[in-house]
Each structure stands twice: as C-alpha cells, then as structure tokens.
Structure 1
C-alpha cells in the first residue's frame, strides 16, 4: 500500500514540476491541492506529498492561507 502511495506522489510531483517549469502555472500563482488532484485524477494525499517536496525544494511557498508558485529569479 505504501508503495502505491509513493508511486502516486512521484507521479504528482513530476506533473506539478512540469506545470511549474513550463509556466502552465505562472510564478506567483496560487495553487490548490484539490484542483491539482482533480486535474491529475488522483486523491489529494499524493498531491499534498508532492507539494511538500516542492516546498522543500523552494519551488512552492506556503502563504498565510494558500500555497503559491515561488517567483523565479535569473539565478534559479
């Protein structure tokens, strides 16, 4: 069971990362785990796990009440 969840989180991570790097989700845009889960046709849990990983990697930031794509700089 944990292996399936890990695989789903990896799929979610790669899909969200692609959306960020291809600017499908603009820098500074708010992102929603429920909306992404619906788009990816999976539950919110692996999407949240992917978003945590992206936060640790500095691509997503946690605001007061939402998460958003961190604006990129020339050095990124």
Structure 2
C-alpha cells in the first residue's frame, strides 16, 4: 500500500492518469488490510485509523472535482 501511494504521488505530480489508479488501489488496499488487522487485533485503534485513512483516500479519488484538479493541466 505504501509503495503504491508513493508511486501515485509521483505520477499525479506529472499528471498521469495511472497515478489516479495507483492512489485508488493503494487506498483500497490500505483500507482492507488495516481493517482486517484491526478486526484480528483490536487492542488499540491504530489499525482502525489506518483503515479510515485508506478509505478517505478512496473517497477523495472518487470525487470528480478532485480527479479533475489532479489530472488536468493548469490553464492561464
């Protein structure tokens, strides 16, 4: 998940659509893995917070305004 999100930052920086997909997949993987770990080991809320952060990335990537701002070139 971390590697996908780091690659997504670079790809989104150069306005590649693959960065959007990497961020979406990385957020989903983070949400799924952290959620499953929290279910197994629920002594602390660390994994729950990780799951919520992954979910927030997925939600932001699915909002059309964010996608437009991340992928389109700036016009002056």
Normalising by structure 2, we get a TM-score of 0.35
> Whose strand proportion is higher, 1 or 2?
1
Select the structure with the greater relative contact order (CA < 8 A; seq sep ≥ 6): 1
> Whose helix proportion is higher, 1 or 2?
2
Larger Rg: 2
